Amino acid sequence: MQLPSALLEQAVNEFSKLPGIGKKTALRLVLHLLKQEPEKVEAFGAALLRMRKDTHICQRCYNISDSLLCSICSNPMRKQELICVVESIRDVIAIESTQQYNGTYHVLGGIISPLDGVGPDQLYIEPLVKRVQEDGIQELIFALNPTIQGDTTIYYIQKKIQPSTVKVTTIARGIAFGGELEYADEMTLARSLQHRMPVENLKV
Ligand SMILES: [Zn+2]
């Protein structure tokens, strides 16, 4: 791509480093910014910089936060004795969007995956075990992707917290809403049967 300005090219290069942004899209975004008032572009840049410099990782659950404890951990209305264990901050955002969960979270920062060189020590598993042992936790809900790595991680943590009276559950696995039975793989279909639920629990 031949650009008439080295500065323009530099900006395009920076944008195209973002996930899902190719050179053409980067150019479109940069040209859009070029048309804006300088103050607007300054505010745009400042917001990014502040986000990067001033956000923290919550000391308790490893969610993203503007202070040492995140807005969920410091909210007395949330059930602090309930922990939903997730892989990443994106999962917290996804579950929060459902507005159906009133407990806290624990972000592992990944899942155990020996093939990718990720072992338990690289994840926030120890602090989770500590929370379970010291904070009067009543239930751990695993909301990890239903994969071998996800199950390995659940198994590992489940062993690690023993002996314990904490209830350990995973989110249901089955046919996706709007999905079709005949296209579901056998494992999903089998699990859907295993985890069948009473019809009165259906929310229509
Ligand atoms: Zn937190």
59-79 pLDDT, tens per residue? 999 999 999 999 999 999 999
What's the CA-to-centroid distance between 8 and ligand 1, angstroms? 40
Domain ranges of the chain: 6-54, 76-171
CATH number, span 6-54: 1.10.8.420
Query: Alpha-carbon distance 53 to 200, whole Å?
Result: 49
Helix (H/G/I), strand (E/B), else coil: 106: strand
Query: Alpha-carbon distance 44 to 55, whole Å?
Result: 17
pLDDT of 170: 92
pLDDT of 194: 85
Query: Alpha-carbon distance 162 to 26, whole Å?
Result: 51
Ramachandran angles phi, psi of 67, nearest 5°? -140, -175
What's the CA-to-centroid distance between 102 and ligand 1, angstroms? 13
Residues lower than pLDDT 50 in the chain: none
- 11's CB contacts (< 8 A; 6+ apart) are 30, 33
Would you give the DSSP letter of residue 113? B
pLDDT of 203: 67
What's the CA-to-centroid distance between 33 and ligand 1, angstroms? 35
What's the CA-to-centroid distance between 113 and ligand 1, angstroms? 25
CATH number, span 76-171: 3.40.1360.10
Predicted TM-score of the model (pTM): 0.83
**Tens digits of per-residue pLDDT, 131-164?**
999 988 999 999 999 889 999 999 999 999 988 8
pLDDT of 204: 64
Residue found under tokens 């936060």: 65
What's the CA-to-centroid distance between 84 and ligand 1, angstroms? 11
Q: Exposed (0-12), middle (13-18) or buried (19+): which is 82, by Cβ within 10 Å?
A: middle
What's the CA-to-centroid distance between 135 and ligand 1, angstroms? 14
What's the CA-to-centroid distance between 38 and ligand 1, angstroms? 37
Helix (H/G/I), strand (E/B), else coil: 80: strand
Q: 65 pairs with which residues across the strands? A: 56
What's the CA-to-centroid distance between 64 and ligand 1, angstroms? 8
What's the CA-to-centroid distance between 18 and ligand 1, angstroms? 27
pLDDT of 78: 97
Token pair recorded at residue 156: 């590992």
Query: Alpha-carbon distance 94 to 32, whole Å?
Result: 30
pLDDT of 146: 87
What's the CA-to-centroid distance between 177 and ligand 1, angstroms? 30
